[in-house]
Chain A
Amino acid sequence: MLAVATWLAWLLGPPIFAARRARVDDDLRRVRTIAIVCALASCVTAALAPAIPQVAALEIAWPWDETAALGTAALRMTSLSRPLVALVPALWLVTVAATPVARLDRAGFRRTAYATSVGALAFVSDSPAVLLCCWWISSSLFIRGLAGATNPRTQRVIARYHGVAVASLAAGVAVVAWRGEADVVGLGLIMAAVAIRKGIVPFHAWIPEALDRGRIGPTVSLCAPQLGSYVAVVLVVPYASAGMLRVVAIASLLTAVYGAALALYVSDARRSLGYLFVSQSALVLAGLDCTSPDALAGALILWVSSALAFTGLARTVLALEARRGRLSLAEHHGGHDQMPLLAATFLVFGLAATGFPGTLGFVGQEMLVDGAVRTFPFLGFLTIGSAALTGLAVMRMYLSLFGGARSRGPELSLRPREKIIFAAIAAALVVGGLVPGPLLASRAEAAHRLLQQRGAITPSTRPPTHG
């Protein structure tokens, strides 16, 4: 128990500590350095989880009797959770390390740190009540983060989306607790909440809007870890009927194409980024609902890959905006030769989002496409259409942001810290794509466990993994 408590303290404590420091410390540079160290500590702690036997088998039961709303355990570490727990502090590390001191906003910084702790906590729990609380807190932090950056009307509209999502999730959890975990109405309400949070058409409009007129940082920290996918996997996929999963998968496949098409059309870099995320996020959900082991494992890989790629793309857009102001894709901004590393890493992030060979996205996409076509012989091809359009959108962004004549005025080069962060994300995507074995094994195990929960396969039928 001591080992588990220590591990949890080291996982969840550092972001909270960094947030407290940001409140009392006047020196923003020191605050950021502390935050980087804290994020690294959380990342290392999360990475050590499989090596500590008590943590690897973590399961903390509630002190009172089990109820349907609370679940069997308050905290539980599963094969699904392991990389996701590390992903949340890793994304926070990227955020704090890549943000210049001049643009560091104390309140926003604290909210991102708290959101990191809440996100990491959510991924080590499968209790509906804990997930609901984490969901609500992260949504509240996000909505408060938009204040001041966007006009009140837009903020109100986005808040309404999230209010409905939280209410829907709460109602779903309550109905499931009352009428049983396989109740169609309860699962439908939970799925509606997931659809809003993940931006499944027609509930998607808030994501491009939040990026366009809101703030990129809070939107990335809310969207990139994809808590919605986790809730779907834990609360819906094991119990939902095949018909319900089919409907969700089809809606997600259509959303993937929709998002990619709009990402290709719109002429604002932020909106395009938003639609790219809508498309990627929908692909993940489509795979999760395909109930094919390949599609499921592919979607779980794509989850990690899209989180890294989206964060990288968003940070690149922010880095460019810090130097050039608002970016329109209708013109060419130039500057490839001034920032070759940023241009190259942007291309790598984009190609990973496209599922290009040699990146982690390729592994996920390849398995997802195969599995999706097996489940939906016709509609499965929408994954290919989505990949093709995403590729075009990414190439258009790349050529617009880095191609053309040199922009006027002094062009600031990247700082060493930014270089390291961008290169590290790109390296993670490429190394993960070239040597996907360890991650794939863990994702295939998680997929197998999920299908076992659904009763789709028996324990002895687990397929081998390669790589």
Chain B
Amino acid sequence: MSSLLEVAVLVTCLAPVGLVIVLAVAAMLGNLLSERGVGVVTRLALITALAAAATAAIAFTVGPATPRLLRYGTWFGAGDTVFHFDVVVDSMSLSFAGLSLLVCNVVAAFSVRYLHREPGFDRYFLQMSLFVVGITFVALAGSVELLFVGWELIGISSALLVGFFHERAAPVRNAMHVFAVYRLGDAAMLSAAVLLHHWSGSGDLGALFSIGTIAPGLVDAHHVLVISLLLIVAVAAKSALWPLSGWLPRAMEGPTPSSAVYYGALSIHAGCFLLLRAQPFIAGSTVAIALVTAGGVITTAYGVIVGRVQTDIKSAIAYATLTQVGIIVVEIALGLRNLAMLHIAGHACFRLLQFLSAPNVLHDLHELDNRLDGRPARPTTEDTRPTGRTLYRLGLERGLADPLLEWAVVRPFRRVAARLDALDRRLVGERPRDGGP
């Protein structure tokens, strides 16, 4: 049973990797695969991965059902830096991997029809397959390095899909914004990984996930706090927790199926999942747990306030998602891990359905409006209380998340960079002429 489990987990990881290779090679050689070919290959790979994940789950349940680390080999390494291909097998990792692959299968089947004859059909599926590899690695990662690889793949595929309709300026601008916030999270994640490796002397995730040979008490309290804070930043960037929530409505520029899988179902929950896995470690620091709780509560309130004034369906759903993400984060902070996992699974499926049916709802409403020859008048209510008006304005400004980021990060960066650029030009005898972006 153990070898069946090992083989099944390996196939779960490698089937999406094979899909990326096939689609990338086909694209490089000049769109060798037709739309139909891309659809067949994608579904074949994803169904294989899902079947393997299901087999692994059954083998794990039938077997001793004790969490363990499987080492499939070493990617590269020299000296003290070694990149092991380690996978964590426990109920949580297998559940999230299974959920992710199930969602990806549904979205892939939907996308084949939804994006029929859309320019960039094969590009969409290549980027989506990168995401599948990323989310599978994040779900099953047993080493910080593998977790980081998955984390990065999710980030880049997300940004590229936001900019999928690259002929319009808005998606391109928003892709950059999303990538910038993700990059902050990636830097925090890499710093946490390096520090964990540096302080614990091992890159295996036992220290974070309480699995295997490394006990959570191996690194001291200060170390736990620093690593936890970095993880919180990484989670906040990926799951759009306040104050890093400004990118979420911008991410809605991508095709609807990708919005569904990223910002409704999986990517937005990837941060929560990491927090869930690392909760036993973070619980070692009261300050970190307090921060997580505060982040969850504020994000929930933010999602409610901003979500209520959204005028387009995808943004409204996105903020509703954020509200639930905040609640999930609070559950994790309170140590309700099983409830949080259940909440993630249920919420991911529900939002997926909402996102995927949104275009149909819009279509039906337009149809209805056409038949009624106009939109029926709806009763309007105005909140005249000062608090209500302030909250309304705050909601319209999306909680000032973007202006805050602009004021705190972008403007100081531009000011300093402009001076340095001018100095560089003077060093080579030129007058400043570059205004910068």
Contacts and interface: CB of A to CB of B under 8 A. Distances in A.
Interface string B414-429: 1011101100110111
A268 B434 contact: yes
B78 A154 contact: no
B435 interface: yes
Contact of A366 (B145, B169, B425, B427): B145
Contacts of B191: 381, 384
A419 B46 CA distance: 31
A392 B425 CA distance: 23
Indicate the member of B83, B183, B195, B424 with the most A CB atoms within 10 Å. B424
B413 interface: yes
Indicate the member of B76, B171, B198, B429 with the most A CB atoms within 10 Å. B76
A344 B166 CA distance: 14
Given A205-B427, A265-B418, A388-B187, A293 B78 contact: yes
A262 B418 CA distance: 9
A40 interface: no
Interface string A395-414: 11001001111100000000
Given A265-B437, A268-B434, A405-B167, A370 B194 contact: yes
Contacts of B145: 366
A258 B420 contact: yes
Given A363-B76, A396-B176, A444-B79, A266 B421 contact: yes
Contacts of B376: none
A415 interface: no
Nearest to B420: A262
B179 A387 contact: no
Given A293-B79, A444-B79, A153 B172 contact: no
What is the interface residue range for chain B against chain A?
A: 35 or more
B149 A330 contact: no
Contact of A266 (B81, B82, B179, B436): B436
B175 interface: yes
B156 interface: yes
B175 A373 contact: no
B interface majority secondary structure: helix
Contact of B83 (A206, A340, A366): A366
B257 interface: no
A437 B76 contact: yes
A392 B175 CA distance: 11
B436 A267 contact: yes
Contacts of A157: 428-429
A294 B430 contact: no
Interface residues of A, number: 76
A467 B159 contact: no
A385 B184 CA distance: 9
B307 interface: no
Contacts of B436: 265-267
A465 interface: yes
B77 interface: yes
Interface string A289-331: 0001110011000000000000000000000000000000110
A interface majority secondary structure: helix
Contacts of A268: 434
Interface in A415-467: 423, 426, 436-437, 440, 443-444, 447, 463-467
B426 to A, nearest CB: 9
B194 to A, nearest CB: 5
B152 A388 contact: no
Contact of A374 (B80, B152, B183): B80
B81 A332 contact: no
B346 interface: no
A183 B148 CA distance: 44
Indicate the member of A153, A258, A357, A384 with the most B CB atoms within 10 Å. A357
Contacts of B171: 403
Interface in B18-39: 27-28, 30
A443 B79 CA distance: 12
A158 interface: yes
B190 A384 contact: yes
Interface string B158-180: 01000100111101100110011
Given A336-B166, A351-B156, A384-B194, A297 B78 contact: yes
B417 A265 contact: yes
Nearest to A400: B172
A341 B420 CA distance: 35
A371 B76 contact: no
Given A294-B80, A357-B153, A366-B83, A209 B194 contact: no
Given A154-B428, A268-B434, A399-B176, A391 B80 contact: no
B186 interface: yes
Given A154-B430, A403-B166, A465 B77 contact: yes
B119 interface: yes
A402 B76 contact: no
Contact of A406 (B76, B120, B167, B427): B167
Nearest to B78: A444
A15 to B, nearest CB: 30
A92 interface: no
Interface string B91-127: 0000000000000000000000000000110010000
B429 A153 contact: yes
Given A267-B436, A330-B437, A404-B167, 16 more contacts: A157-B429, A209-B428, A294-B78, A294-B79, A344-B28, A358-B149, A370-B194, A384-B190, A387-B190, A395-B179, A404-B166, A436-B75, A437-B76, A463-B78, A463-B80, A466-B78
Would you list the 7 A-B pairs with minimal beta carbon distance, nearest first?
A467-B76, A265-B417, A403-B172, A205-B427, A466-B74, A444-B78, A388-B187
9 contacts: A154-B430, A208-B424, A261-B416, A266-B421, A387-B187, A392-B180, A399-B176, A404-B172, A466-B77
